[in-house]
């Protein structure tokens, strides 16, 4: 008995989805930096997740694309949301108060390397030699960033950024292999909702509500929040969730070496990052590491 082949994905949809994670996520690092300068970091990310979930819920209601989620699907969403948003975005936002947006982006190039390491541990299979070389290059690049002098970021900030990349990699793998609704938009909503709840709880526990003065928030911070909700979350994360279903993991992972280059260039352009030989050397190492850790073009995916 033959099995019908899956319908091909339109190239235009693939192009637009990749453009969303390349462009919107690259600019998100600077938007986070501007936002957390005036809004407590965990509260800022909670608002971002809640706003994105609300807009996607409205979309599902208008299109009738939602279904009743099972307990297993909610478990997947809860763990993924905790790792992706409380773990990754919460740590990233906290460090962004002291670390430049370009440097934050470079740290998060560790995500594909963590994906390789976690997969190797789970599958009990050692990576190929070229991947091991990539892991070594990436580790050296992160070490160069961590050893920078004259910056206001602490070692704790830099450790938090590495942990942020680990949390995103773990959350992505959990979401990819766990139970999930047929609709990628509904899956995004469930993960965002779980992330929002956990972030609001952490913000409350950390006293961020008492420290927040909405009347003092500038138009720049409000604009950054609007961009993060619409571009970084609704369009960017929804595109990412969909791509994880229809595209090869290695192809989806290419955002990890596109984003830091664009984010670093944007940070330099607006004066958030001063170009230096150390930063450029670290960028070359981590981008090269991601290329080595990715599957070669035409390889089995």
List the domain boundaries for the chain: 12-210+220-293
Task: Give the list of residues 6+ apart from residue 216 with CB closer than 8 angstroms, or none.
Answer: 38
Q: How confident is the model at residue 301 (pLDDT cuts 50, 70, 90)?
A: very low
In the chain, the percentage of residues whose pLDDT exceeds 90 is: 38
Distance CA 53, CA 69 (A): 16
User: Among 281, 180, 301, 192, which Cα is nearest to 238's?
Assistant: 192
Spacing of C-alpha 285 from chain mean position: 20
Residue in this structure with the two tokens 């997740």, named with its chain if needed: 49
Q: How confident is the model at residue 145 (pLDDT cuts 50, 70, 90)?
A: low
Asked whether residue 210 carries a pLDDT value surpassing 70, the answer given is yes
Distance CA 163, CA 87 (A): 8
Q: Which stretch of 115-129, 169-183, 273-287 has the lowest confidence by average pLDDT?
A: 273-287
CA-CA-CA-CA dihedral for 58, 59, 63, 68, to nearest 10: -70
Distance CA 136, CA 158 (A): 18
Q: How confident is the model at residue 6 (pLDDT cuts 50, 70, 90)?
A: low
8: buried, middle or exposed (CB in 10 Å: 19+, 13-18, 0-12)? exposed
Lookup: tokens for 65: 């694309």
Distance CA 25, CA 223 (A): 16
Tell me how crowded residue 246 is: count the other CB atoms within 10 A of its CB.
15
pLDDT digits (tens, 9 = 90+) for 30-73: 999 999 999 999 999 999 999 999 998 998 888 877 788 899 99
Give 151-190 as a DSSP string.
-S--HHHHHHHHHHHHHHHHHHHHHHHS---S-HHHHHHH
Asked whether residue 152 carries a pLDDT value surpassing 70, the answer given is no
Asked whether residue 166 carries a pLDDT value surpassing 70, the answer given is yes
Task: Give the list of residues 6+ apart from residue 23 with CB closer than 8 angstroms, or none.
Answer: 262
Q: Are 233 and 52 in contact (CB under 8 A)?
A: yes
Q: Which comes out higher in pLDDT, residue 200 or 269?
A: 200
Burial state string for 171-196 with b = 16 or more CB within 10 A and e = fewer than 16 = bbbbbbeeebbebbbbbbbbbbbbbb
pLDDT digits (tens, 9 = 90+) for 225-281: 999 999 988 888 888 878 877 887 667 777 776 787 788 888 888 888 777 777 777
pTM confidence score: 0.80
CA-CA-CA-CA dihedral for 129, 252, 109, 135, to nearest 10: -10
Q: Which comes out higher in pLDDT, residue 290 or 123?
A: 123
pLDDT given at position 132: 79
């Amino acid at each position: 008995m033959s099995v019908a082949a899956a319908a091909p994905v339109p190239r235009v949809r693939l192009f637009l989805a990749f453009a969303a994670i390349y462009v919107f996520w690259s600019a998100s690092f600077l938007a986070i930096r501007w936002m957390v300068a005036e809004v407590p970091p965990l509260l800022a990310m909670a608002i971002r997740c809640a706003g994105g979930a609300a807009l996607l819920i409205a979309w599902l209601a208008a299109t009738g694309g939602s279904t009743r989620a099972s307990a297993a699907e909610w478990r997947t969403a809860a763990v993924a949301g905790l790792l992706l948003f409380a773990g990754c975005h919460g740590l990233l936002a906290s460090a962004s108060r002291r670390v430049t947006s370009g440097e934050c982006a470079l740290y998060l190039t560790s995500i594909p390397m963590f994906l390789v390491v976690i997969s190797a541990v789970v599958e009990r299979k050692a990576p190929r030699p070229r991947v091991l070389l990539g892991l070594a290059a990436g580790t050296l690049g992160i070490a160069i960033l961590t050893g920078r002098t004259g910056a206001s970021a602490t070692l704790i900030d830099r450790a938090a950024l590495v942990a942020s990349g680990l949390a995103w990699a773990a959350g992505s793998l959990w979401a990819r292999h766990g139970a999930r609704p047929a609709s990628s938009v509904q899956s995004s909503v469930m993960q965002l909702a779980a992330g929002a709840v956990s972030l609001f709880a952490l913000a409350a526990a950390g006293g961020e509500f008492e420290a927040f003065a909405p009347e003092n928030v500038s138009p720049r911070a409000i604009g950054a929040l609007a961009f993060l909700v619409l571009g970084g979350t609704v369009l960017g994360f929804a595109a990412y969730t969909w791509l994880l279903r229809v595209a090869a993991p290695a192809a989806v992972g290419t955002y990890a070496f596109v984003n830091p280059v664009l984010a670093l260039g944007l940070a330099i352009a607006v004066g958030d990052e001063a170009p230096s030989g150390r930063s450029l050397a670290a960028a070359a190492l981590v981008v090269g590491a991601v290329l080595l850790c990715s599957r070669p073009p035409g390889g089995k995916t």
